[in-house]
């Protein structure tokens, strides 16, 4: 049986990256690099749930992760249909949502790393990529 990813797994993966701090934003666990949030726990608001209408919202926990741009967001969504998704609140914003109970470890690690790269200062990102 496959183990389901948790926010503690997210914390471990995020904190393996250089200069990451964990904090809270809007009452939710958030991971930052250079003061920019690149991954955060993203429970659905009442407005989000209303927008699902008759559809059942994806079960949590839900992780939001930044992408480099909207093109990358679309590519990530197309490549990982089973666990990655978006909601109207994120329209026009370079981030994806990940249903942790469905994501593979490899896809989660890649998403967190890509989110970090999208927010890290260019010199730090280059140093990380050249290692």
- Report how far apart, in Å, the C-alpha atoms of 8 and of each of 5, 45, 122 are: 8, 22, 27
- Mean pLDDT of the region 21-45: 96
- Mean pLDDT of the region 12-38: 97
Residue 73: is its pLDDT beyond 60? yes
pLDDT at res. 131: 86
pLDDT at res. 35: 96
CB atoms inside a 10 Å sphere around CB 104: 13
Instruction: List pLDDT tens digits, range 77-113.
Output: 999 989 999 999 999 999 999 999 999 999 999 999 9
pLDDT at res. 101: 94
pLDDT at res. 28: 96
Which CATH entry fits the domain spanning 7-129: 3.40.920.10, 3.40.50.360, 3.90.1010.10, 3.90.1150.30?
3.90.1150.30
- Read off the tokens for 38: 């690149």
pLDDT at res. 111: 97
Burial grade of 108 (CB within 10 A; 0-12, 13-18, 19 or more)? buried
Task: Place 1 in a pLDDT band, splitting at 50, 70 and 90.
Answer: very low
pLDDT at res. 60: 86
Mean pLDDT, all residues of the chain: 94
Residue 2: is its pLDDT beyond 70? no
Residue ranges of domains in the chain: 7-129
């Amino acid at each position: 049986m496959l183990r389901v990813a948790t926010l503690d797994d997210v914390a471990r993966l995020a904190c393996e990256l250089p200069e990451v701090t964990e904090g809270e934003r809007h009452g939710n666990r958030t991971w930052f690099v250079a003061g920019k949030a690149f991954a955060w726990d993203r429970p659905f608001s009442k407005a989000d749930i209303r927008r699902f209408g008759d559809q059942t919202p994806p079960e949590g926990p839900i992780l939001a992760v930044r992408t480099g741009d909207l093109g990358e967001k679309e590519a990530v969504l197309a490549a990982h249909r089973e666990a990655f998704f978006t909601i109207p609140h994120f329209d026009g914003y370079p981030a994806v949502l990940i249903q942790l109970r469905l994501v593979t470890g490899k896809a989660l690690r890649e998403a967190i790393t890509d989110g970090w790269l999208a927010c890290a200062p260019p010199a730090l990102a280059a140093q990380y990529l050249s290692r």
